[in-house]
Chains A and B, each alone.
Chain A
Amino acid sequence: AQTVTQSQPEMSVQEAETVTLSCTYDTSESDYYLFWYKQPPSRQMILVIRQEAYKQQNATENRFSVNFQKAAKSFSLKISDSQLGDAAMYFCAYRRGNSGNTPLVFGKGTRLSVIA
């Protein structure tokens, strides 16, 4: 079974600084997708960024980027110019890619605090 590990239960960052959240996963599949979701105190899960395993180029969405190391099975999230609104729980998630209906497998989450 696939597993997703987030080794940092809590992280903090100063406003305007950069922070990296770690995620590793275990799979024997070659076709899969990786996601980072954000859950602010309002509770709604929001998609931050996604990465297709077959793409070598790291995904970027504005201040959010990933470092995808397929051989190492690592998928870290970098948040640049951190803002107070970035404070949230962040979940890394994996989905097998060879079917359109497979569910996500989530890590246990990292709680990010942003210090003004």
Chain B
Amino acid sequence: DVKVTQSSRYLVKRTGEKVFLECVQDMDHENMFWYRQDPGLGLRLIYFSYDVKMKEKGDIPEGYSVSREKKERFSLILESASTNQTSMYLCASSLWGQGRSQPQHFGDGTRLSIL
């Protein structure tokens, strides 16, 4: 079974702090994704990566950056946390599969509160 592990289920930080959310997958997947989930808005893509050191902006990248130094790890960074970044953050991974219906596998999510 694919395992996607997010480092924290709950996290509380203060405005202005630099925040790191970590995600690790154990199935050698090429693709990794960070989503933000808010009530009534569904999941919105922040960034994704299809290879080590490669990254692509999603729909809402402002205020975030990412790092992928190793294939199994994808980090989301809030450069200077703000209260409007209080949300649930979900990490996912998938195999590269051109022409195939590769599903994404998700972690349990990190509920981040910025005070």
Instruction: Tell me the complex Cα distance, A9–B50, Å.
Output: 32
Instruction: Kindly identify which residue among A43, A52, A91 contacts B101, using a CB–CB cutoff of 8 Å.
Output: A52
Query: Interface extent on B, as a size class?
Result: 20 to 34
Instruction: Kindly identify which residue among A6, A42, A105, A108 contacts B108, using a CB–CB cutoff of 8 Å.
Output: A42
B residues adjacent to A (C-beta < 8 A): 30-31, 33, 35, 40-45, 48, 50, 58, 88, 90, 92, 95-109
A residues adjacent to B (C-beta < 8 A): 6, 9, 31, 33, 35, 37, 42-45, 47, 50-52, 91, 95, 97-101, 103-109
CB-based contact B103/A47 at 8 Å? yes
Instruction: Tell me the complex Cα distance, A95–B40, Å.
Output: 21
What are 27 A-B contacts defined by CB distance under 8 Å? A6-B42, A9-B40, A33-B101, A35-B101, A35-B103, A37-B106, A43-B108, A44-B107, A44-B108, A45-B90, A47-B104, A47-B105, A50-B103, A91-B42, A95-B101, A97-B99, A98-B99, A100-B95, A100-B99, A100-B102, A101-B96, A103-B45, A103-B58, A104-B104, A105-B45, A106-B35, A106-B43
